[in-house]
């Protein structure tokens, strides 16, 4: 089990909330932090651009990278979304175990949305 952090940016709060919720609902991530107030300066199609964005910090396992990247590409509004992964060299053992348990597709979960679907 190797934990990673995946970073992406989005242009709106709605986009951030959608991506965060879906990554958790699909059990591809244990936690997604949404960091508002990011200012990005970059070169795009020959021009220098500066935009306000929100950063998503996704805590997951290395084995989930492809699934997380696919979900980001599926739901993202950008033509080329940022998808960067960073290895977690060290971390609190209990927190790392929680990440692994949170993305375990075979574990029994009582997700709030699952319970509402049965009503």
Burial class (CB in 10 A: 0-12, 13-18, 19+), 31: middle
Please determine, looking at this structure, whether the domain spanning 3-117 carries the CATH number 3.30.70.120: yes
Give this prediction's pTM.
0.89
Helix, strand or coil for residue 88?
coil
| CA–CA separation, 78 and 40 (whole Å) | 14
| pLDDT tens-place values along the chain, 119 residues long | 899 999 999 999 999 999 999 999 999 999 999 999 999 999 999 999 999 999 999 999 999 999 999 999 999 999 999 999 999 999 999 999 999 999 998 887 666 655 444 44
Helix, strand or coil for residue 33?
strand
């Amino acid at each position: 089990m190797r934990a990673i952090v995946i970073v992406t940016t989005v242009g709106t709060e709605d986009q951030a909330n959608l991506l965060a919720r879906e990554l958790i609902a699909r059990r591809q991530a244990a936690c997604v932090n949404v960091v508002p107030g990011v200012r990005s300066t970059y070169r795009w199609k020959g021009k220098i651009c500066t935009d306000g964005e929100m950063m998503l910090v996704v805590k997951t396992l290395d084995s989930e990278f492809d699934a997380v990247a696919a979900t980001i590409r599926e739901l993202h509004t950008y033509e080329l979304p940022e998808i960067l992964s960073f290895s977690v060299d060290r971390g609190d053992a209990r927190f790392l175990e929680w990440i692994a348990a949170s993305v375990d597709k075979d574990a029994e979960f009582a997700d709030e949305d699952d319970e509402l679907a049965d009503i």
